Amino acid sequence: MHCIALYHVRFEDLGAFSLPLETAGYEIAYRHAGAAPLTAEEWRDTDLIVILGGPIGVGDVASYPWLAGEIDGIAQRLAQRQPTLGICLGAQLMAVALGAQVLPSGGKEIGWSPLSIAAGAGPLAHLRGVPVLHWHGDNIVPGAVLLAEAQTAATPCQAFRAGRHALALQCHVEFDPAMLEEWLAGHALELQQAGVDLAQLRADTRQHGQRLVQAGQAMLSAWLRELKACA
């Protein structure tokens, strides 16, 4: 089976999700969403596509015109009920492809805190009570188009599913704590503008990082088993 990990900045990769994907039998290939966009055939036929995070937003199509093609590809794939996983920006792109809104939150949610998980949330139950890493300034608007299955006080939709074939995570459940310094350097301007305490972020990552790795891998493995059962 083939998995394409569609990235927007190199250091926001599959992280801790690589292991359960490989264990489930996926061969992983990385592609940059703008520099090496997927063909219509790849959007249609790839066994699994994971759309990763990045510092741009769904409203930046004028500056990054290839985002429009990415949204169209996601919409085509979701309409065909093909397995799709979105993380942060990827989740926001999925929401827009499904007809939902993504709006600026008026601030930044950057740091560690647990999710409020809805009852019957399936694989997401593995994250219940586990602090996860948040790193975003836009919010997916839940409602008639999609239902939130996880939230925090600052973010009404931290995760949603579209059937069993599509899972979207606004938060960074895939985060590998060994990558923290790359994230801090890569997002230096954003962190400075948001007034984030880097010492606290490092301390919280040391405290919560490995627990998130374990919970995130368990969650993804459970979702991949659901995909296999529905195939």
**Domain extent at residue 49:** 2-230
The CATH number that applies at residue 99 is 3.40.50.880
Dist CA 68 CA 45 (whole Å):
20
The pLDDT value given to residue 170: 97
Structure tokens belonging to residue 67? 């985002």
User: Binning pLDDT at 50, 70 and 90, where does residue 231 land?
Assistant: confident
When divided into structural domains, the chain yields a total of 1
Residues forming beta bridges with residue 150, ordered by sequence position: 117, 159
Contacts of 136 (CB under 8 A, 6+ apart): 88, 105, 108, 109, 110, 155, 170, 171
Write down the residue that tokens 């990552």 correspond to: 205
Helix (H, G, I), strand (E, B) or coil at 77: helix
Contacts of 176 (CB under 8 A, 6+ apart): 15, 16, 213
Please state the rounded mean pLDDT for residues 119-123.
Answer: 89
Q: Model pTM?
A: 0.97
User: pLDDT tens, 131-189?
Assistant: 999 999 999 999 878 899 999 999 999 999 998 899 999 999 999 999 999 999 999 99
